Each structure stands twice: as C-alpha cells, then as structure tokens.
A and B are shown apart, each in its own frame.
Chain A
Amino acid sequence: MQAVKMVIAILILVIFYSCNSYSLRKDMLQSNALNALNYPKVHDNQIIFFKKTLIYTDDNRLLIKRHRILKLGNDLKSAPEVLYTYDRSLEKLLNCEARVLRRNKKVAYYKLKDFHTINLSNARMISDAKIRLIPVADVLLEGDIVEIISQHEQTFPELGSILSPAEAGTHVYNSEFVIEYPVNDSIYFKITDPKLKPIYSHNEDCKRILFRLKTHNKLSDENYFNYKNKETAIYINKQINAGNNDKPSWTEFGNWYLQLINQRLQATPEICDLAEMLTKNLHSDKAKMDTIFQYIQKNIRYEQEYLEYGGIIPNPPAMILSRKYGDCKDYSLIMYLMAECVGLNTDLTLCYRGRGIQFYDDLPVSQFNHMILHLNYDGTDYWYDGTNRTGISGITTADLINQKGLVIKKDNSRLINIAESGENKIYISGHLLKQSNNLNADLRIVLSSQYAIDFFYVSDYLNSADFSNYLIDWVHNTLGSNLTILDLLWEKNAGDFTIFLKTEIPNSIIRIDSNSFVSLKKIFNCLLPDQTIAARDEKNINYYPDYGRINIELQFPEFLPAEAALGEDIFKIDFNINLPPGPFDSAAKIPFIERYNKILEDYARIYKLRIRG
C-alpha cells in the first residue's frame, strides 16, 4: 500500500513536472497540422506559420505569446544560426521553447534553460535589452523546420498593442492573431486592411477574437507619395482605467502616462535656480522658453542609456542635469520642469520621428518613438526638441511636419498636428555663364526655418573638411547629381543657413543649330522626381519630400530669350515650388495632384535662347 502510494505520488510529480515543463511544447503544431499548412514551394527561407496571441488576464496583465515556424530554404548562409528571442524590461521574457524538425525526421527540443544570453549594451546604447538564444549545433538545411514559441509579459498594457505579420518577416504565410480577454472586459481594435475579418468566440472564462491572414508580403517603399507602413495591422487596446469599459481615449492614455512618470515630475532646487537665473530679465513666456531651450540643447548632449523602463520613462531630472546627457525624453523633461519653475505652462508631447508613416489615431495605441515639448503662446503652438542640439526655437526639424503629437495634459491630452513653419524655404539665386555646353554658376542658397536646423547642428558637429563633404553630398542629392563643385562657403545667420556655391553644370546647354536650349531640370536634375502622380485608389495619399518650398531666381547674363524684342532684358528663370507636405485626404488630394503635375511641367520646360550681342 505504501509502495502504491509512493508510485502514485511519483506519477503525480512526473505529470505535474511535465505539464509545467512542457507548457509551451504542447502548443507546437502536430505533424498533420504542419503538413496541412499552405505556402508556396520555393527555395527561399519562409515563415510558414506565425501566430501572435495577446492574453489579457483578470488582474490586468498582458501576456504575449509568439509562435513562429520557419522553413529553411536552400540559402544556408542566411539561415538563422540561432533560435532567439528578446528579453527587456518593457517586454519581459517568461518562457521560451523551441524545436528543430530535420528533413531526416530527427527532432531536437530546447527549453529556456538551454538558452545562452547576450547583453545588447554597447558604447552607443546602454540598455537592459538581452537576446536569449540557442546556438544550433548543426547547420540548418533546406527543408528543416524551426519552431519557436515565446511568452512575454508586456509591462505596460496601457500602451496598447499592434498585431502585424510584418513583425515576423518579409514573406509570411498562415498568420493568426488572437486576442483573449476576460468575459467582463471590452476590447477595441482598428484593422488597417478591410480584408481581415474578426472571428468571435467565447467560453465561460474568456472571450476570443481571431484574425487569419493567409499571405503577407512586405511591401517595398516606392516613393514619397506612399505611406511606408502599408502592411496589414491591427491596433488594439482595452479600457485603460480599471472598471471602465468605455472605449479608451487619448485623454485616458495621457493621464496614465502622467501617473507613470509622476515621480519624475518634481523639479529640484538646482533646476529651479538654473531656470530663474537664465530667465531673470525676460518677460514674455516665449522669450523665457526660448532661453531655456537654447541652454538645454547646448549643454546636454544626446546619449542613449536605457535602464529599467528607460524606453518610456525619462531618467530622474537631477541625474540628467548632473550627467549632462540624455535622450529626447530627458531633454523634454528637464525643459518642462525648468519652464514650470518660472511659471510657464508647457506640455510633454509624444510623437513619431520618421517620414511617411501613417498614424492611426482611432485608438490610443502607442506609435511613438520621440518626445518634445509643447508651448501654446498667443494662440500659436511652439515645439521644443532638445535633440536638435542647435536650432531655431519653437520649431521642429522638417521630418516632424504634419506628424501627430500627443500633448500630455491632465484630463486634456489630445493629438495636435505639428504644423509646418510658414517660413520654410530654400531660396536659390545666382548667375550662370556659358562655357561651351556647360554653365558655370555662382549660386547663393539660403535655407530657412525648419530647413536650416540640420545644417546648424551638423556644422557644429563636424570639422570643417567633413562638413564640406556633407554639404557637397547634400548638393548632389538635392540639387544636381552632376554638379562639379568649384568652391563652397557657408554662413549662419539667425534662422537662415546660407551656402555660397561655385559650380560647373555639365551638359546643361543643348545646342541645336544656332540656338541654345536650357531647362531647370537640366540644371538641377534632383529637385523633383521625374514622375507624375495620378489619383489613386487609396483614400489618402502622402507627400513627404525633404523640401517642398523652393524659390529659384537664376539669371543668364549672356542669353536672351530667342524671341526677345530689342532692348529686352537678359534671360531669367523664376521658379517656385510651393507644395505643402501631406497627408492629403480624398478631398485635398485631387487639387494637390493637379498642382504637383503642373509644377513638374514647369520644371521640365525648355527655354529657347540666343546669345546676346
């Protein structure tokens, strides 16, 4: 009897151990399910199955399970050497299991304890992020299958989540996205692709929403008319405040974030003393804010050091000021506290830095990677981005134009459009003289407002020779790829950066019989892309070139228009590109397209000239 009890106890222990040890292994696909997967038979590496499950628990935690199956192609060199998953404070790794199914039917299993750890910190970025990996002993062969299931906990479910097959790779087949949540809770989501349909189910414990996508191919970037994040995705959040099942709002998101960083929102006496010292003789809010901004961006350098939750929570303000380095959150926090010390009402603002990204604002789901500071003064919104390092107060760099910024304010957080500065312009003027089939140009290029900020910074950042190289690259990429630079000088004034350029423009004069022909496109072949755009099926289009406001005044002292009357002045080109950056909704896109195509025509227009005298 004792022996039987012992055996039963051992069996129970074994079963218990097995259940817990192989808790993810049971989710691995059985062979019939694996064989039933549908995907093209090609020789490349393919993700033949990808399932991401969000599990909201009763105690408001968010667990994320990722299940990937990779089938190896014939390019063994680019096969993953390791099975890996990430582990960081914002998304903690709870468990991970993997298996490798060989072509020869052998199977190898790996548990988390088998994984090695690599700390990702390096001189450029110190963080708590790690990779957990298994070096697979034998090289993986074509036809082998690698299956890895990982379970993480998202530390801050309030940030919301994004489900997208693009996370798994370029070509992904048989994707499934599942959301499980308590019966009494509500989930809200936004699907970017109407072809993706939710399938609902529930049991007495939880509700479930399933999405299936057979094929996903990551779309390549086309040009600066299309959004870059065109992939199918689902944006999800649930109520941010417990006990409230109403659709979550950006206001609640803002309140939550303020609560999260509350401990950081206390200015130290040193911070206040500094703010008061800097602003003591200043009267207007704008002047005070500008002064604080100039000081902080000059005296704090940009470094990336993210320890626990550092990806979302700024460092303590006293530490930022004593270390004199930080990232965008640190810059914004210090400026916010200093402003508060001297009675200014500013707001921390979350935004996305990067062009051509569509921001989905239907739900409060974090799509942010940057923080700046907002001041509304005299009815105008001003923005302060410390990472500009040198720059013009109150405006961002051009890559934030028309991005959405979440202005964080207690009970009044809201999305605001970061508008373009009305003073953005590139003004190009100069004389062009003929030399055989070439033109020798003496040009003055003035970049104003948001267009100038990068140049202010880089001119301080680099030494003289390196900055010259930078400017020449800019000329070749922005004006003309064929310009031969003869001389280059520059100067900075207030909100303008000016380049003085002597250049030879080869083959810019077309000689036919006794006439000469020129066009702006021949002179500056990079100003505009050589493509017309047509109204597309998409509801909205975007437009995000580096520069959309360019004014050109060129004089050709040796030429007259071919049909010029006696006494007429020299030939000149006056050209204006005045295009607003996108996005454009269906109402605005047609007028924009018409305007754009007209500008292209003018840009390519050919002028017939004759020599003066």
Chain B
Amino acid sequence: MKNLVFLLIVFFITGLSYLNAEDFIRNLPKDEMLNWLSPERFQNHDAVIILKEQSVFVNEREIFYRGLELRGKSTMTNKVLIVKLFNDAAVERYGSYEHEYYEWFGDEIPNGIEVKVRVLKPDKSIWVMPDDNAQIIVSRRNKSGDPITRKLLFKIPNLAVGDILQIEEKFTEVFIRSYSGLFFYNDRDLVLYSNLYLTFPFKEEVNFLSFPASQIGEPTIQQVSQSYGSGKTYFWSVRDLNPIPDEPYSRPFAEQSLLTAFVVKSSDHISLGEWQRTVKNFYKDFLEDDEVDPDQFEAIGFSTSYKDSVITWETVDKLYTALRKHIVLSGFNSLYPQSEDINYILETKKGDASDAAYIMYKILQQWRQSVNIVWVRDRREGIFEFSVPSRLWFDRIAVKVVIKDQTRYYDFDRSIPYQYETPWFINPIDVLTIEKEGFKKERIQKFPNMYENRFTESHVLTFDEQFKLSDSLIVNYTGSAAQDFRGEHYAEETDEIVSFINDDIGKTCLSKCDTIVVNDFFYNRDINMRLAGKSAVAVDNIEDKYVFSVKNCNLARFYKKIFAVARRGDIVFHSPFEIIMQWNIKLPEGYSVSKDNLAKKQFLGPANAYSELDLKVEKNVLNIKAGIHFPQMYIPCNQYPVLIKFLDDNIQTLEQNIILTQS
C-alpha cells in the first residue's frame, strides 16, 4: 500500500511537471544579446525582431465528409516571433494580435489554431499569457449560421517598452488549396535571425527556389526521423535583414524582401510543379465553361451577330466600356473567375476583375475573335519569378486581344476608366498568356512617357476693386495621376468626393470655395475638376504697390507626400510624370509687373529631372507657367536629398513675391 501511494505521488509530481512545462518551441535569447539590443544603438527603430521563424509541415490527409472520402494535403504552420520593443509605437503594434482564416468546411471540418505568448521583463522575470486570454471568434457567418471565417484575436497584457515578446502560433489547415508557397524573410522591422523550415512527406518531389539565391544559400536537409520514408525537413536561415518600411513611392515589400518559394513537383504520381501543368489545369477547370446567353448580349448593348463580322479595335473598346458600365467591381480579386456562373454575374451585375475579364473573353470567343486570358501580377505587388511555377503570384486575370498584328491587354482594375487605357501598374510587367495546350510568357510594355501622366492646374486670378483676388481653377489629371485618384475614390459617393476635393485640393488655393464641378472620371480617362472662389493668395499693399505670391495645389501635395527626414529605400514613381502649372492674372488697370519678376528660371534634379519657370506679360495679363518634369521613374535613395533640394528650389521660385507698380 505504501509503495502504491509512493508510486502515485511520483506519477502525480511527474505528470504535474509535464503539465507545467513551458512548451514553447524556442528559448528566449541570452542576456548578452538582449543587453546589446538597446534603443541608443538602434536609434531610428521601434523594435528589433530577434527571431522570425516559419515552419510548415505538409502531410497527407484523408477525411470522410458527407459520405465522401476526401484526400489531400494538410499543413501545420508554426510561426515564432521574438522581438525587443524600444518604444510605445512598438508596444502598440505588437501588443495586439489578429489572424483571420477561412473555414472552407464550416464547423464540420474546422481548421485549428493555438497561440502561446510570453514576455521577458527587464528585471528578468517571465510572464506567460494565460491560454484563455486569446479568443477565437467567428468573424463572418452565413445565414445558416455556419462560420465562413474565424479570427484569433488578443491583446497582450503586461507589455511595456524594454520587454522581449515571444509569440508562437500554430495553425493547422485541414486541406490546403495550393501546392506551392512563398515565404518572406524580411519584415517591417530589422530582423536578426530569419528561419524557414519546410517538411514534406517521403513521396513528395519538391522544388525550392530562393531569391537572391546567393544571399539565402542552399537548405540544410534532415530526415524527419530515423524511420525509413519519414520525409525530409529543409532549413534555411538568414541573418541581419534590414527593415522594409512603408514609404511612399517605393518598391513593393515582396520585391524588396528575400524570399524562398517551394513548388510540389509530383504527388501520388500526379505531375505538378510546372507551368505547363498548372496552366493546362487552369484552362480545363476555368476557361472551358459557360457561354454568354444571347439575351445577356442585349443587356450590355451588343449583338451576337458580331461573330460574322470583322472585329475592330473600336468594337473591342466598346465592349470593354459596356462591361465596365454594366458590372460593379468588387474591391477584392481572385485569380479564379466564376466561370460556371457567367450569366449570373451579368444578371446580378456584380463581380470581381477576373469575372469581368472572363466575360469579355467569352464574348470575344463567341465572336470568333483571337483572344486569350493572361495571368496578372501587377507592379503594386512586385515582379513574379518565372522559375517558381505557382499561381500564388497572380491575383487576377486580364484579356489579351490580337487584331491583325496588333496586341492589346485589357485589365479590369477599379483604377482604370471605362474608356480603357493601359494603367501604370501593368506597364511594364510580365504576364502568362494561357492557351489550351500551354502558355507563353509575354511582356506588356508601352514605354510610358511623362506627357501622358500629368498633374495640371490652371488658374485665372482676377482682382476686384479692393485688390482682393478670386481664383477660377481647373485641375486636370491624366494617366497614372488619374488612375491613382480614381482607384482611391471608386466606391465613394459624389458628396464624399466633392468634400475630399474641397479639403485636399481646394483649401490649398482657395480660402472659400464657392463651386466645385467634377467630370465623370470613372468613364473618362482624364480627371477634370473646376473650382472657383475666393483665392487664398493674400495681396499686400506696400506704399503704392501691391505684392502677392501665387499658390499651387499639385506641387505642394506632391512635396508633402514625399518629404521625410530620412529615406530608407529607393524612389520608384508609378510612371514618368510632370506637374504643369499656369496662372493667368489680369492686371488691374494702370498697373504693371516689376521687371525683376519677369524672368525665366530652370533647375536640374536627380535622374534627369528638370523644370522651367517663365513669367511674362501679354496684353496686360501676367502669365506664369511652370513645369516640373520627371522623365525617369527611378531615383536611388542616395539622391533623395538632391530631389528635395530640387523641389525646394522650384517652390521657392514659384512663390516669389510679385510686385505690381502703377505705370
């Protein structure tokens, strides 16, 4: 009996120890490293990520679901983050956590998620977050009450500046929908160690590709266990990675970060992992379905009889415009069109860019026009690596049309006007053109020039009897300038757009805006705004003279957007562009402009940027013309101070004091 009691006590204590063991995957860093990581040493950093680790374990799975036997791959993804926090901005950023994921099978086959958090305080004490602090909520439910998405959500108690935070998340996805993956080593903060582990079952043939390969190196490979056929783990580690901050006019994160991609080449004797295979599957699964019903042709204002005629570019453009007017585009895109519901999209008039592109493709096919679908990854996301055959690169499809020897690409992004023009973000890019038996890698390149991408403003300033100025102002955007504006305001009501124009543009030049008129810039390529009201330009009366200096909106807004104390990354404009400004000022009777004002000035900036400013009087009207030109899109980071000086010189010259003297 005593022995039994003794054994029970031993088991109990042992069990208790096991239960109380901290089952974190990684240890906390040692003191020497932590002491070395100080805000003084990392002055312009909010935090330093000591360890960023991702590991993915892929395995086979079989599930019985509603009488069916489902087989596929499931993954268990572990993410580890250990970070030291230098200021309250970092505490705020890392102190709240959210991970939303889809539940493809609702509650019947739910995915799994767990998280562990601990905090090492400066006094060396360790606080472990209780498990019940994290919530898993259903963030979206359908009308039957089934979860569509869930969210893991929590705030980390007891977190402060100087703490070391460790978060480990384990996410189990029941069935994965892609046989490839992309992993980024960098982050928004500096990373000391960035690790990636990928584990695959024995049978898998997998391709790994890293970019740039020289910096990342080859993986270390280990057997999962001593058992034969247990599979392999591939491991990469990269150190001391610079932060990639979110700056205006910069390259996308995905393009700046080091990355490793994997592609499963074959599974269960099914050949995968090649463009040929994935393109053919896509064609078969998504591009061979439905045709557009004849009555839907009529609904969008076309006739089916086009199939017997010669299609011109005018017809194709009209078709694009008709579809843009007919279909309200969703804010979120998928590469996969709802091709078996094509007529439903036309009936409901709602869809995403891929749905609309697919409809255009089908209509042109029915008209016997040469047409292809292309996969698009645009410049806002970054380039895609052709050596990694994966659909994950792309977020939508577009349409390629060839008439005689001319080729055009039609994209359905919300930034593009109904009267089609090639947007900046697909110029230039590589695309994959999908054909029935294969694909082609092609380049969209229209050699954008700055004349097509303009911010223009034109003022007519008039003096009243009290020498107060009123301003009638026309602001015009073309090309990339117009596309960016359109994309930002696509879903807004007219009132909101007018209010934005008044606050953001009007108030820079007008102290009181009486009129704002905007064209239908969703249809038209150009954006045209007319504003009128009391000018914000103050006119000073000095002895017998009047003095004023003009105000502008576009250069001022551009300067405000791009200015920063320090710039970390290169500047990449959306396109070559120019800012053109003009003022016509009718001079009061009997007054002339001081000769000192009437001059031409020119400035040179980085990357062949240049400007000119000209003031002259013609028929008693003072004409001020200014142009700032950026013929190149790219300015290296070390030229940033030169850019700012260039802009400062232009603004200073433009805002010179203009002196009116009685003649």
Interface residues, chain A, with chain B CB atoms under 8 Å away: 44-45, 75-79, 81, 113-119, 121-124, 126, 137-139, 141, 170-171, 220, 299, 301, 303, 305, 322-325, 389, 437-438, 460-466, 468-469, 472, 476, 481-482, 484, 506-507, 510-512, 517, 519, 521, 530-531, 604, 606, 608
Cα-based distance from A604 to B97 in the complex (angstroms): 52
Residue-wise, chain B 130-154 has the 8 Å CB interface mask toward A (1 for contact) of 0000010111111100000001010
CB <8 Å contact, B493 and A45 = yes
**6 interchain residue pairs of minimum CB distance:** A323-B157, A123-B98, A139-B349, A123-B96, A506-B652, A465-B44
CB <8 Å contact, A121 and B564 = no
CB <8 Å contact, B655 and A512 = no
Residue-wise, chain B 584-625 has the 8 Å CB interface mask toward A (1 for contact) of 000000000000100000000000000000000000000000
Report the minimum CB–CB distance from B327 to chain A (whole Å).
Answer: 8
Cα-based distance from A530 to B548 in the complex (angstroms): 14
CB <8 Å contact, B157 and A465 = no
B92 in the interface (beta carbon within 8 A)? yes
CB <8 Å contact, B659 and A512 = yes
Chain A residues with CB under 8 A of B491: 77-78
Main SS of chain A's interface residues?
mixed
Given contacts A325-B95, A507-B655, contact A138 B347 (CB under 8 A): yes
20 further A-B contacts with Cβ under 8 Å, apart from A77-B329, A324-B159, A463-B89, are A45-B493, A77-B491, A115-B143, A116-B141, A116-B142, A116-B143, A118-B141, A119-B137, A139-B328, A170-B495, A299-B160, A305-B155, A324-B157, A324-B158, A465-B566, A476-B560, A507-B655, A510-B659, A512-B545, A530-B536
CB <8 Å contact, B564 and A463 = no
Chain A residues with CB under 8 A of B155: 126, 303, 305, 323, 325
Interface residues, chain B, with chain A CB atoms under 8 Å away: 39, 43-46, 86-89, 91-92, 95-98, 135, 137-143, 151, 153, 155, 157-160, 327-329, 347-350, 490-496, 499, 502, 511, 522, 536, 538, 540, 542-543, 545, 547, 549, 556, 560, 563-566, 596, 648, 651-652, 655-657, 659
Given contacts A461-B87, A507-B657, contact A531 B157 (CB under 8 A): no
CB <8 Å contact, B95 and A113 = no
A/B interface sample: 23 pairs, CB < 8 A: A76-B349, A77-B328, A77-B490, A116-B143, A117-B141, A119-B138, A119-B139, A123-B98, A124-B96, A170-B495, A305-B155, A323-B158, A389-B88, A466-B89, A482-B651, A484-B648, A507-B655, A507-B656, A510-B547, A510-B657, A510-B659, A512-B547, A604-B538
Chain A residues with CB under 8 A of B88: 301, 389, 460-461
CB <8 Å contact, A123 and B655 = no
CB <8 Å contact, A301 and B328 = no
Chain B residues with CB under 8 A of A124: 96
Chain B residues with CB under 8 A of A122: 98, 151, 153
CB <8 Å contact, B657 and A78 = no
Given contacts A114-B143, A301-B91, A303-B155, contact A463 B137 (CB under 8 A): no
CB <8 Å contact, B350 and A301 = no
Q: CB < 8 Å: which of B160, B328, B540 contacts A604?
A: B540
CB <8 Å contact, B565 and A465 = yes
CB <8 Å contact, B564 and A469 = yes
CB <8 Å contact, B158 and A138 = no
Q: CB < 8 Å: which of A119, A301, A437 contacts B160?
A: A301
CB <8 Å contact, A78 and B92 = no
CB <8 Å contact, B44 and A606 = no
Report the minimum CB–CB distance from A374 to chain B (whole Å).
Answer: 26
Cα-based distance from A460 to B140 in the complex (angstroms): 38
Given contacts A324-B159, A460-B87, contact A113 B493 (CB under 8 A): no
Report the minimum CB–CB distance from B247 to chain A (whole Å).
Answer: 11
Q: CB < 8 Å: which of A76, A121, A438, A466 contacts B153?
A: A121
Cα-based distance from A460 to B44 in the complex (angstroms): 12
Cα-based distance from A511 to B656 in the complex (angstroms): 11
Report the minimum CB–CB distance from B9 to chain A (whole Å).
Answer: 33
CB <8 Å contact, B153 and A126 = yes
Cα-based distance from A220 to B512 in the complex (angstroms): 12
CB <8 Å contact, B495 and A44 = yes
Report the minimum CB–CB distance from A327 to chain B (whole Å).
Answer: 11
Report the minimum CB–CB distance from B156 to chain A (whole Å).
Answer: 8
**Nearest A-chain residue to B596, judged by Cβ:** A511
Chain A residues with CB under 8 A of B87: 460-463
CB <8 Å contact, A121 and B151 = yes
Cα-based distance from A482 to B555 in the complex (angstroms): 12
Chain B residues with CB under 8 A of A126: 135, 153, 155
Cα-based distance from A138 to B351 in the complex (angstroms): 10
Q: CB < 8 Å: which of B140, B511, B652 contacts A507?
A: B652
Report the minimum CB–CB distance from B351 to chain A (whole Å).
Answer: 9
Report the minimum CB–CB distance from B304 to chain A (whole Å).
Answer: 23
Cα-based distance from A220 to B498 in the complex (angstroms): 11
Chain A residues with CB under 8 A of B349: 76, 138-139, 141
CB <8 Å contact, A137 and B348 = yes
**Nearest A-chain residue to B96, judged by Cβ:** A123
Cα-based distance from A506 to B142 in the complex (angstroms): 61
Cα-based distance from A170 to B497 in the complex (angstroms): 13
**Nearest B-chain residue to A125, judged by Cβ:** B96
CB <8 Å contact, B565 and A469 = yes
**Nearest A-chain residue to B652, judged by Cβ:** A506
Chain B residues with CB under 8 A of A303: 95-96, 155
Cα-based distance from A606 to B659 in the complex (angstroms): 14
CB <8 Å contact, A75 and B493 = yes
Cα-based distance from A35 to B140 in the complex (angstroms): 37
CB <8 Å contact, B44 and A464 = yes
Chain A residues with CB under 8 A of B565: 465, 468-469, 472
Chain B residues with CB under 8 A of A472: 563, 565
Given contacts A461-B87, A469-B564, A517-B542, contact A118 B348 (CB under 8 A): no
**Nearest A-chain residue to B512, judged by Cβ:** A531
CB <8 Å contact, A76 and B328 = yes
Chain B residues with CB under 8 A of A44: 493-495
